[in-house]
Structure 1
């Protein structure tokens, strides 16, 4: 130690200042006094505050780093971890439901985000732990072996096996434990983003099967498309009952129309499906607009029309034996021609002219909580019906009706349809289909004590009846019959042997099987919320430790150089200057405390007072770190 510091010149300086200039000019003591005067000039004690030089920006920056550098790092790391976790969630949320383009890098990037969050939170906790560690070593006495654990447990988990560390530094042990536990939040990251089978819908143009009944007009024996059939047969010049002028007149439904009618009405699975326009798609949906006749029914109190068998409501169950009855309001021959045409000669101008379309009369009985009898008259209307046609794979799953718009009766009262009109053949096709439908429904079902019921109608072949008693399964029979009639029109779309069947372009929504990202945020949110919540608690503890310490502390080499230079330690480590492992028990069991060194020389200059690890009796508590630091600047 410097000789001048062992014999401080403070007293000399003071005495010199009191004796005046005469002593200063003493020749015998001139040189020493000159040195003392210089020393006094280097260490002014009572210099007024106004005369001290202003602090430079470097000293201000050093003071800021001393008090706020590490607390700022702790808070910044925590905020980075918090926003990293939020960004991780938002990134996965953005991927949710998206088609998988790359199966590897999104997961890798998510894992990188998870590790970034882990690094930031652990870094914040470690800074808080360091401040807690320095706070407890200033307030308590520990063995050197325990101090080893306190300053190394964040890098070696074996320190948790040290009893004194766990019980004497419990809060520090808990915080250090979080350093090892928080990385587990990265485990939940890969499991929250998975790949699942999904569907992608895109709109494209498809070649769909359609029906265009206007193609019936002008189709005859001289047409090019003779390998396909029309919907009705016609009487031509030279055939029995034909007009002499050679104009076509309606004769009967065509055999092709009868075939498709039988197939559609007797199937239990709905209309016959056309081929899918999207063979390679998982599902294919397109809109379909049909301009076809439909039956519009209205409730009646009693049967009407020509009523060939004289039905009346009293014959319906329970007052009568009839549970179902149907007929046409006008009698027709076997092909659907009005009986009035039979009395006309080929030269008669009215031959082939339709003056009315028969209405459909239906009476039925339903039995649920009791017997309910109803009567309805159904009129044939022009209508536009809209469907959504959906195929799943190569099978038609549904033709869902979305809207129906009635235009007007197919043949309004007082109107007629003559063979020379342009749309006569189209009208005849509609009439042929309606005639087959009325014929299919005609007849009755009567109750029988022995057989249960006796049927005299082809309608019994459908699934509209209860096979046990012959009653209808639906309270609204007209709606069920209307749907059955529409199934026939839908079935014509699939009949490539009809001249009216065509293919047209339409917009299709194609559903394709793709791989989609599936994000389940529960485990990611749970792990992050727990990690962030614990980190908040630790940051608050670390902030308190910063406040109590009054300055920032680290566990770097330079920190231990500054805090381990005490005579006690010099004496303790004699023979162990290499710091080699293992150390003797004398060293490890020695108890130390960090504080201001207590020396006999309390008269030492303030700058010479030091803080270090030493034996408990040789240190005292640092009451004010700010005062201690300011005195040693």
Structure 2
């Protein structure tokens, strides 16, 4: 027989069964423990403080997460490392989850012991109850718990659902590219026809100062604009305004064309040896106000000379004020003509050759642009009787607004607008020669990555889980007061709670009988010890 000795009192031997060992139990020590366990209506201060502190720590992590995300909201990612932003946000979310689950776990333990005091449960249900909080999810489907330990089971279910909040909240801080506008002064190319020192890039250089027509650069620009139907040169800017998109406006004085159309009264000759689709002719008209000669362009065009009379296009140049909006980005540039105001006819001195030194520089510069435009539009586009296109004397056959068709003819598309726009494109392209520069206000738009905080999702999720934790804490504190002692699910606590001969006898019937046996927790009527047993084992 095995015996345990006490240094203070002699033990009393209790024999549970002839087939079991005899265990020595110090009844006075057990009685002292019983008194401390079974006193109800009193709170354990340290357990209450610990549960509350864990709740406050979790709420603090949530507040810190909100403050951290609010600090980063709208800031460029270059100001705070993205990896650390993710690490800190995830750490705070996990801190909230861990602290709140710890507080809820302690409250759950108090409610478990209150449930087993008030209700009789099967041992199988007790197995599920002790493992329901973060253990085996199958424990949540024990039917007996829904009848006898509903509140404790609800706390366990909430504990399983609470970590969902940590899935959504780290994603509330995301990165999005935005356009950041800024305004600054920048140096841009412009066109100043009043300055005759163009280095031979607008007016053809002449040793004796006579005007000899447009420069080779302007002629190339005119031909390229005719081919493409748009401006030919980029108007690059210089300065500190660098971004994804830079916009600025220019005001320049340059020539523009005003054109009109009318139907020709020329009789159609179906038996003509040759037919002309396009005929461009230059002429001059005298301006009665200034006494100057104004160059004129007259064009006769028709898609089918044998059946349709030509349309007469007449164009006159004017000195005009251009308002231009220029937009640059990484791959493209765009021009918008904000306004165009025609001021006066672009005339020339009558009866004499223009002089680059004596005559107005604006008129000589305008003359170069006008002559380059008119030169590529004059000449003929003619076909013989056999349908062969004769060698054209005009570059207009290359124009973007003229295209041949399958009937040995030509299609003309918006000729009036295209000719007026050609003059405008040549002027804009001349800006890109970078002869002259001026300061302008540039609106630079940089595309940067910034942090964006979805405040509503994080606050809603955290408020919900903190409210659940507060309600759980209240349940736990109430259960602690009813129990009179801090309960736990430790091994030592289970050992103390199962010291009952009734349970020893039930174990002899095997596991199935034990699982079906219904017990509750209370003070045994035999010796006052707290333990699990049958309802008739208690007072």
TM-score range, shorter chain: 0.5 to 0.7
Flag the structure with larger Rg: 1
Residues 434 and 228 from structure 1, CA distance in 2 versus in 1: closer, same or farther, beyond 3 angstroms? closer
**Separation in 1, partners of 2:110, 2:349:** 103
2:436 maps to 1:502: yes
* Correspondence for 2:374: 438
Q: Identify which of structures 1 and 2 has the higher relative contact order when contacts are C-alpha pairs closer than 8 Å and 6+ apart.
A: 2
In the alignment, structure 1 segments of 5+ residues that lack a partner are 1-60, 220-224, 237-247, 303-310, 332-337, 339-352, 575-583, 602-608, 621-633
CA distance in 2, matches of 1:279, 1:77: 50
Contact 2:64–2:92 under 8 Å retained in 1: yes
Q: Which residue is 2:6 aligned to?
A: none
Alignment of 1:464-543 (within 5 A): 464-468=401-405, 469-473=409-413, 475=414, 477-495=415-433, 501-509=435-443, 516-517=449-450, 519=452, 525=457
List gaps (5 residues or longer) in structure 2.
Answer: 1-40, 505-509
CA distance in 2, matches of 1:384, 1:64: 89
Alignment of 1:164-563 (within 5 A): 166-170=142-146, 171=150, 172-173=152-153, 175-188=155-168, 193=173, 202-216=182-196, 228=200, 231-232=203-204, 250-266=211-227, 270-273=231-234, 277=238, 283=244, 285-297=246-258, 299-302=260-263, 312=265, 324-330=278-284, 355-362=292-299, 376-393=313-330, 397-411=332-346, 424-445=360-381, 451=387, 457-468=394-405, 469-473=409-413, 475=414, 477-495=415-433, 501-509=435-443, 516-517=449-450, 519=452, 525=457, 555-556=486-487
Q: SS at 2:213's partner residue? A: strand
Q: Distance in 2 between matches of 1:131 and 1:314?
A: 111
Q: How many angstroms does 1:427 deviate by?
A: 0.6
Once the two structures are TM-superposed, the CA of residue 213 in structure 1 deviates from its matched residue by 1.8
Whole-angstrom distance in 2 between the partners of 1:509 and 1:268: 28
Return the match for 2:98 from 119, 124, 127: 119
Any conservation in 2 of the 1:74–1:128 contact (CA below 8 Å)? Answer: no
In 2, Cα distance between equivalents of 1:268 and 1:537: 69
Closer, same or farther: CA 423–610 of 1 in aligned 2, 3 Å: farther
Q: SS in structure 1 opposite 2:318?
A: strand
Q: What secondary structure, in the 3-state scheme, does the structure 2 residue paired with 1:273 have?
A: coil
| Contact kept in structure 1, 2:246 and 2:442, CA below 8 Å | yes
Judged with a 3 Å threshold, the aligned counterparts in structure 2 of structure 1 residues 421 and 208 are, in CA distance, closer, same or farther, namely: closer
Counterpart selection for 2:133 from 154, 166, 188: 154
Distance (whole Å) between structure 1 residues aligned to residue 215 and residue 145 of structure 2: 100
Q: Residue by residue, what CA displacement relative to the aligned partner does 1:474-494 show, whole Å, maximum 9, x if unpaired?
A: x3x333223222222233234
SS at match of 1:495: coil
Higher fraction of strand: 2
What is the CA distance between 1:355 and its match in structure 2? Answer: 1.0
> How far did 1:389 drift?
3.5
- For 1:528 and 1:77, the matched residues in 2 are separated by 16
What whole-Å deviation, never above 9, does each CA across 1:429-474 have from its counterpart, x for those lacking one? 212321231232124556778538776532221222223242123x
Sort the Cα spacing of 1:354 and 1:63 in 2 relative to 1 into closer, same or farther, 3 A: same
Matched residue SS, 2:404: coil
Q: Is 1:315–1:321's contact at 8 Å kept on the other side of the alignment?
A: no
Aligned-partner SS, 1:435: helix
Q: How far off is 1:545 after superposition?
A: 8.7
Aligned residue for 1:182, secondary structure, equals helix
Distance 1:561 1:294 in 2: 101
Instruction: State the alpha-carbon separation in 1 of the partners of residues 379 and 254 from structure 2.
Output: 23
Distance 1:117 1:478 in 2: 73
Label 1:585 to 1:399 Cα distance change in 2 as closer, same or farther (>3 A): closer
Q: Distance in 2 between matches of 1:379 and 1:64?
A: 102
TM-score (normalised: structure 1): 0.56
Give the counterpart of 1:138 among 87, 109, 117.
Answer: 117
Structure 1 residue 615: Cα displacement = 3.4
CA shift for structure 1 position 161: 5.6
